[in-house]
Amino acid sequence: MGIELSQEQHAVLKETRAVATPAEFQALLDTARSEMDRIVREVMEPSQPVSTTLTELRDLYLAVVQHEAQLASKAYGPERRALLRGAIQLLDTANLWFGEGKRTGAYQVRPIDQVIKASRPWRARLKAFADQAFAFEPDVAEQFADVNTSGTLTEETSDLAMLLRLAQQHQARLAPVGLTEDFLREGSALLDEVSGRDLLGILGLRNREEAMVLRNSIVTYATLLGNEARAAGVNACWDMPEVKRRFGATSFRNALRRLRPKRRGSAAAPDEPAPPEPAPVEPTGAPV
């Protein structure tokens, strides 16, 4: 039997979930950048599954929200809370896109036939919105009925770009009948894929190694903010034993480990002891 989440837990999950588009991720990263540069003095890598760290961070964030008045009285106000929330979103997104172990494929460009197949439901839904919104303006509704008759990459790119422009242009008319920002973002993501723009390129990352450095920077940053929130909670709720105990029980001790420098040639890394010298070998036939 699964564990039932409370209404508050559902709200925290919704508030801290991964974002859907590179633009949203970049906006979060831009907001966090100055604080990240200030507090991250050494980038480390995960020492436990990132999903475990995310669970701990979300549980801590819930406690922070529940006791925000007490924390605000001890210099942990809305700005620090917003930074923690953004860090959890960044970490969830980076883990989804650049994941651990086997790559999830979330940022890989799909073959054109798969993108065309994925875009059909999106295009059909947009047409349904337009059919209702422009029921008495068939010339406008007809513009949303375009179909990729050739099944080619060129036509699909052109069609999606045109449909997105139309949807954005008529958003005020389409929103009341069901069009949402999430729906527009889904269309934008399809256009990115069909245009051959994968996530790494959109974010200006040259290769997977750079993506992992970014992921490690984010997990380090989020963990540091988690430690700050834990300390603030213990201090702010000092006279509330149960709440203080809850904050104090949060631990990120196993979240990170230092990145060890690579060996160069046969030299041992600076933080590793040199191997013991072998015992001298007695020459064969030597007098005793």
Show the tokens assigned to 149: 């008759």
* Cα gap 157→173, rounded to integer Å: 25
**Backbone angles phi and psi of 141, in degrees to 5:** -60, -35
Q: How many CB atoms lie within 10 A of CB 247?
A: 23
Mean pLDDT, range 85-104, rounded to an integer:
79
pLDDT digits (tens, 9 = 90+) for 213-270: 899 999 999 999 999 999 999 999 999 999 999 999 999 999 999 987 555 554 444 4
Q: Dump pLDDT digits (tens) for 26-83.
A: 899 999 999 999 999 999 999 999 999 999 999 999 999 999 999 999 999 999 999 9
Q: What is the DSSP letter of 177?
A: G
What local confidence, expressed as pLDDT, does residue 280 receive?
Answer: 45
- pLDDT, tens digit (0-9, with 9 covering 90-100), for 96-120: 887 754 344 445 545 667 777 888 9
Using CB atoms within 10 Å of the CB of residue 133, give its burial: 0 to 12 exposed, 13 to 18 middle, 19+ buried. Answer: buried
User: pTM higher than 0.85, yes or no?
Assistant: no
- The alpha helices in the chain, defined as continuous H runs, are 7-16, 22-39, 50-66, 68-72, 78-98, 112-133, 138-143, 153-169, 171-174, 181-194, 199-202, 208-236, 241-249
Closest to 61 in 3D by CA, of 229, 266, 249: 229
Which residues sit opposite 267 in a β-bridge?
264
pLDDT of residue 43: 95
Residue 13 has pLDDT above 90, yes or no: no
